[in-house]
Amino acid sequence: MNNTNPDLLALITTLKMAGLTTILLLIIGTPIAWLLARMKSRYKVIIEAFVALPLILPPTVLGFYLLIAFSPQHLPGQIWQQTTGQQLAFSFSAIVIGSILYSLPFVVQPLQKAFEQLGDNLTEAGAMLGAGPFDRFFNIVLPLTKASFITAASLGFAHTVGEFGVVLMIGGNIPGETRVLSIALFDHVEAFNYTKAHILAISLLIASMVLLSLIYLLNHPKNQKQNSVKRVKA
Amino acid sequence: MSSKISNVTNQLSLNIHCQLDAFKLKVKQTLPLNGITGIYGRSGSGKSTLLRIIAGLSPQATGKIIFQGSQLLSSDEKCFVKAEKRQISMVFQDSRLFPHLTVLENLQFAVKRRLTNTLNIEEIIKLTELEDLIYAPTATLSGGEQQRVALARAILVEPKLLLLDEPLSALDYSSKNKLLQLLNKVSQQLKLPILYVSHSLAELQQVADKLLVLNLGQVEAYGNIHQIIHKLNHQPESQHEHVEYSMPQLANQQTSLSLPLKNINENHQLITLALGEKQEIQLPFNTHLSTLLKENTEQKKINVRCFVLATDISICLTEPVDSSIVNQLFGKIIDITVHQQQVLVTVNCQQQDFFISISSYSLDKLALRVDLSVYLQFKASAVRTHIR
């Protein structure tokens, strides 16, 4: 591991972090989005505001509070340490948890919008045909909101790859553990190694551009076939 | 799953309350589960809410529902059987076909989830005349075709009760007639009890045996459809508790009949129905009647359902002669109800009440009064039919 190119190592760490974060975000974000789409309580706005908070909150603020929470002096950090035997702060797990919180709105919001557009009509029809809740979700909701799931996963992944402030605050800069591409780029700039910084920067730029183009292509009306939510009659 | 609590297996017993914002539904009624039961009422009377509660789609409802001896809802015992466990299927006003599936895949969705395996998918496709559409995406279907697929899908899940929530309201006249014929076939061939919600008495008259009338969330009337329609015709508005009640308007009043087939005049394309022992009604022998008569080998037992609008019947004081109007009945006036400038006259012919809407001018001109003997006239084409 020590002989591995540090930038390649940072790329692997970044992909691991972003991949795991995206999977966990879909697992956590889907029920939150479903709940928000169906919720009629006046308290809905509080949950929506909490989910959307990372959109406007400076990453260092979120990172700062997470750093305190993850330290062994505080309950979340203590529970983690007692359960796993390892410190949470400055670990790979810490940057994954931080990324989940930081990228949550990028996954929840497109899914919530898709579930709201879909409405209850088709799931009610499914129930009338004997389909239970999971059956309805996997065989009606998921196929009809597939494009939104792809969008949510792509945005969550891309946003996590570009993360800097939260990772730096709670993960530090440990090669192979918490040193991700954005931090490696910052290191190169600080060391005036602009050639390596350029390589990383342009790679991230191209990758982000390609990913976003694919999302827009997927969501273009011409490419939305009959499985689009927009074709579902109310 | 529901628990067996009673031996009464062929009825649906409702004692339910449901508060939805300002609207309150309160229904206490037992419905026998055979044939088609119509549920009629104006918009906002609670028809669709009632169906949704029976289906299990309105969990906020309280009270008790016992279906074929099994408890589906009991607030006292905190029992609520989920919609997907009730073995009750529903066809919605807006068909609600799954747009990511073809017609065949929509039907297979039901087949894969049914608890019994009696019905053959091919036979239901044939019954609902979907043979040419099975591979089509649902978005390409017309309104009538979509409702036929929705009906086939609802049947294929093999429910113990089928709920229809205004399934024809968005269809044109031709599609409506086709689907009504189909509903009769489905009800008769599959012996499937159906609750049919509609705001159209004409529609219900063609298919339903019993009629439940809802008004402002409460049961207004229940019984044999012909009797209930007559009761509604004859009910003066002043009897109703609420001023806004206007069901049905005089212009929509009709005489609802179910009469035995007497003979067929193929030369003149007319069929004759017996009205008591002495009188008869003639009506056009259309292709639909022809097909259904051919299907039925015991024609003598056929009762033909028909209805005549009150506005299509005229009154004469003397027997009409040399008239092109084929239906001429003799009877006695038993009631005259005046409503603004319109008058509803009830004439009894051979124990059958007929409703005739005339102007107050005609009432005065003919000096009509109760117990006066009169002749009724209406064209064969004024009789709308459907064979049961």
The full set of domain ranges for chain A reads 6-228
Residue B211 C-alpha, separation from nearest chain A C-alpha, in angstroms = 24
pLDDT mean over B362-376: 94
Nearest CA in chain A to B97: A122
CB-nearest to B139 from A135, A139, A231 is: A231
Burial, B257: exposed, middle or buried (Cβ in 10 Å; 0-12, 13-18, 19+)?
buried
Distance, in Å, from the CA atom of B43 to the CA atom of A106, rounded to the nearest integer, reads 42
CA of B91 to nearest chain A CA: how many angstroms apart? 8
For residue B16, the cross-strand partners are B27, B63
Phi/psi zone of residue A229: left (φ > 0), alpha (ψ -120 to 50 degrees), beta?
A: alpha
Mean pLDDT of B64-79: 92
B162-212 pLDDT, tens digit each: 999 998 887 777 777 777 877 877 787 788 899 999 988 878 887 888 999
Q: Distance (Å, rounded) from C-alpha B57 to C-alpha B82?
A: 8
Count contacts between A and B (CB, < 8 Å).
72
Per the CB < 8 A criterion, the answer to whether A128 and A71 are in contact is no
pLDDT at site B161: 94
Q: Are the C-beta atoms of residues A103 and A54 closer than 8 Å to each other?
A: yes
Complex ipTM tops 0.85: no
Centroid of chain to Cα A82: 27
Q: Chain B window 65-84: which residues touch A at a Cβ cutoff of 8 Å?
A: 82-84
Neighbours of B195 (CB within 10 A): 26
pLDDT at A151 over 80: yes
Say whether pLDDT at B387 is over 80.
Answer: no
Q: A10-22 pLDDT, tens per residue?
A: 888 999 999 999 9
Residue that is written with structure tokens 């008769």 in the block: B188
Residue that the structure tokens 């789409």 belong to = A37
The partner residue sitting opposite B110, judged by closest CB among A124, A129, A144, is: A129
Closest-CA residue in chain B for A132?
Answer: B84
Residue B246 pLDDT level (bands cut at 50, 70, 90): very low
What pLDDT, on a 0 to 100 scale, did the predictor assign at position A105? Answer: 96
Minimum CA–CA partner of B155 in chain A: A129
What's chain B's average pLDDT? Answer: 85
CATH 3.30.2350.10 corresponds to the domain B3-87+160-248: no
The domain limits of chain B are: 3-87+160-248, 252-387
Give pTM, 2 decimals.
0.78
Facing A128 at nearest CB: one of B55, B99, B100: B55
Q: Determine the Cα–Cα distance for residues B365 and B369; give it in Å rounded to an integer.
A: 12
Q: Which residues in chain A have Cβ-Cβ distances shorter than 8 Å to B153?
A: 129
- pLDDT exceeds 70 at position B251: no
pLDDT score recorded for residue B235:
62
DSSP B349: E
Query: What is the CATH topology of the domain spanning A6-228?
Result: MetI-like fold (1.10.3720)
More confident residue, B331 or B277: B331
In chain B, % of residues over pLDDT 70: 88
Residue A228 predicted with pLDDT over 50: no
CA distances from B16 to B8, B26, B51, B86 (A): 19, 6, 12, 17
The correct answer on CATH 3.40.50.2300 for the domain covering B252-387 is no
User: Which segments of chain B does DSSP mark as H helices, in order?
Assistant: 47-55, 103-113, 121-127, 143-156, 173-190, 201-207, 225-234, 287-295, 360-366
Q: How far is the CA of B377 from the CAs of B111, B365, B368, in angstroms?
A: 52, 17, 16
